[in-house]
Structure 1
């Protein structure tokens, strides 16, 4: 469900990025209290078309009874309707509709050593994770490896520097710039698998890291995954969130590095199963179920949206995970999957926006 939120602040943090703070009414405090690492799905109408986007919260999670702080980072995307609006028109006092915080790229504060590899705007959720962890858990440490093009393009530069000043013994920061030499630190260049494989063991005891958080463009996340595999890091300790996916052929189930893309999901798998001429979808949402025919070429989400405008979604690109649903019956093909962890797909969850029926009958449950 969407709620109107008043814009409390719009801060320019780079030439092409802003931080937007939303005010939360007293009656919605608990509704909008977030876990560090979650994101907001926002809704905006442009030229009569509804635009939805997902933006990660960069603010630390605040415990009751203090009011939650909702601050997101928005970077301008070429052709991006909402990001252009946010950078050029959005101002204090405007109202934006938002859903309650969601997402599973999270960390509940606990003792231990944690690490992140981020690129560009991928710093946004990790900033919330690190700031909350260090403030709440005195026995926790955090190592942040971040990659940016230049210093001028680096989002939340001051906020990260503040963490370094406040927690000098528990927060370790390493910055790599791909297009600019630094006076001190790493030489310029991209963080690829080879570079990360040699860099990470030099920074911290890799086997002792309780959890890794990879966030940013697909290329960086994929290279970091490969590096961690080469360092024998258990898959269960690695969490990822993709921020940018270039338009390219959809990954398949046989592509091992395609950000855990699923080619098929269902009981026993469905690779090679012919697409049925007709299919019926049964969907459960907010406790109500309905069954409808799937029009040729439509995804499960598109089928539901034709009858239920309240179906959850944001990016429609297999990235945000908002349309996650449990596959109750039947088999589907997912064109791409950059949001669900392997254990989620193994348990039967799919992305409705990317799923197409492979059997005459399919049933999903958004409420699981």
Structure 2
């Protein structure tokens, strides 16, 4: 469900990125409490067409009486929402905001944790690290981040503040891919080969309780392969993709069976509808239930996650569900196409 929230502050982070802070009124504070690492969906209408985009919350998850939500937004070429946010959005404006969602999260607990991020992938990991260090005196966090240049680096001051406040428990390794640094690591991308040699030199691998990878598809996939190569269990690796390259592989296309139908349960109500050829299950449901949950429609955010009660589907892409969720029967409705003539989904599970 969306709620109108007022923009309280807009802060320029870099030439192409801003932090937008929303004020949450008292009656909505319970709905907008978030777990570190979650995101919110923002909605606007352009020429009669609804546009939704998801942005991760960078605010620490605290119990402060005044609740605000802060997100980082980086300009995307021809981006319908990011262009609006950087060039038109103003303090005092109202934006439709969906309650926090997402499973790229860390409930604060004692242990050692590592974030490997690229570019705007810092946003959810900043919330994770700040909340963890504030709430768990026995926790440590190592942030390994990659940016193009120093000038393009988001949340420099916030990360510096973590170093100042927790010098014994927060470690920062920062590399730039297109600019030399006076100190620290040599410039260059954090690719698989570099991480395979770098990580064992920096950390005691088997002492890390959780790895949080966030950023562009190439960085996240390269980091996962590097971690698996040095024997990190898959259950210790958590991922969130921020940017999908056009060359990212998808499942082979297949025609929708003739007379295919989808039965969906949402908010306790069920219905059955036909699925048109090449149409996703989400699109079929949305034609009849405008309240069906979705945000990105790209297989990234996980907002449209549903349980496959019966039938068989093909997912084009999946960058949101963990392997254990898929094994348990969950699918992304925005990426799912029916393989059998009848498919049943449950959005309430």
TM-score range, shorter chain: over 0.9
Residue 174 of structure 1 aligns to a residue whose secondary structure is: strand
Paired with 1:30 and 1:342, the residues of 2 have a C-alpha distance of: 30
Report whether the alignment pairs 1:365 with 2:341. no
Structure 1 residue aligned with 2:23:
23
Residue 60 of structure 2 aligns to a residue whose secondary structure is: coil
Do the aligned residues in 1 keep the contact of 2:144 with 2:172 (CA within 8 Å)?
yes
Paired with 2:288 and 2:151, the residues of 1 have a C-alpha distance of: 47
Structure 1 residue aligned with 2:212:
213
Residue 110 of structure 1 aligns to a residue whose secondary structure is: coil
Q: Which segments of 5 or more consecutive residues in structure 2 lack a partner in the other structure?
A: none
Do the aligned residues in 1 keep the contact of 2:264 with 2:347 (CA within 8 Å)?
yes
Paired with 1:98 and 1:367, the residues of 2 have a C-alpha distance of: 20
Residue 195 of structure 1 aligns to a residue whose secondary structure is: helix
Equivalent residue runs for 1:1-368 within 5 Å: 1-63=1-63, 66-248=65-247, 250-252=249-251, 275-368=256-349
Paired with 1:72 and 1:192, the residues of 2 have a C-alpha distance of: 27
Paired with 1:345 and 1:274, the residues of 2 have a C-alpha distance of: 22
Paired with 1:365 and 1:2, the residues of 2 have a C-alpha distance of: 21
Residue 353 of structure 1 aligns to a residue whose secondary structure is: helix
Paired with 1:116 and 1:250, the residues of 2 have a C-alpha distance of: 25
Residue 212 of structure 1 aligns to a residue whose secondary structure is: strand
Residue 96 of structure 1 aligns to a residue whose secondary structure is: strand
- Deviation track 1:215-246 (CA, whole Å, cap 9, x = no partner) reads 00000001100100011000000000000001
RMSD of aligned alpha carbons: 1.2
Structure 2 residue aligned with 1:259:
none
Paired with 1:39 and 1:133, the residues of 2 have a C-alpha distance of: 17
Paired with 1:164 and 1:312, the residues of 2 have a C-alpha distance of: 38
**Relative to structure 1, is the Cα distance of residues 82 and 275 closer, same or farther in structure 2, using a 3 angstrom cutoff?**
closer
Paired with 1:283 and 1:300, the residues of 2 have a C-alpha distance of: 9
Do the aligned residues in 2 keep the contact of 1:325 with 1:349 (CA within 8 Å)?
yes
Do the aligned residues in 2 keep the contact of 1:285 with 1:365 (CA within 8 Å)?
yes
Paired with 2:197 and 2:140, the residues of 1 have a C-alpha distance of: 21
TM superposition shift of 1:278: 2.0
Q: Which runs of 4+ in 1 moved over 4 A?
A: 272-275
TM superposition shift of 1:139: 0.1
Paired with 2:18 and 2:96, the residues of 1 have a C-alpha distance of: 18
Do the aligned residues in 2 keep the contact of 1:5 with 1:98 (CA within 8 Å)?
yes
Paired with 2:175 and 2:293, the residues of 1 have a C-alpha distance of: 37
**Relative to structure 1, is the Cα distance of residues 343 and 206 closer, same or farther in structure 2, using a 3 angstrom cutoff?**
same
Do the aligned residues in 2 keep the contact of 1:34 with 1:68 (CA within 8 Å)?
no
Paired with 1:352 and 1:139, the residues of 2 have a C-alpha distance of: 40
TM normalised by structure 1 equals: 0.93
**Relative to structure 1, is the Cα distance of residues 100 and 170 closer, same or farther in structure 2, using a 3 angstrom cutoff?**
same
Residue 179 of structure 1 aligns to a residue whose secondary structure is: coil
**Relative to structure 1, is the Cα distance of residues 249 and 58 closer, same or farther in structure 2, using a 3 angstrom cutoff?**
closer
TM superposition shift of 1:201: 1.1
TM normalised by structure 2 equals: 0.98
Do the aligned residues in 1 keep the contact of 2:163 with 2:170 (CA within 8 Å)?
yes
Structure 2 residue aligned with 1:268:
none
Paired with 1:273 and 1:295, the residues of 2 have a C-alpha distance of: 13
- Deviation track 1:319-362 (CA, whole Å, cap 9, x = no partner) reads 11110000000000000111111011010000000000000100
- Deviation track 1:240-260 (CA, whole Å, cap 9, x = no partner) reads 0000001236434xxxxxxxx
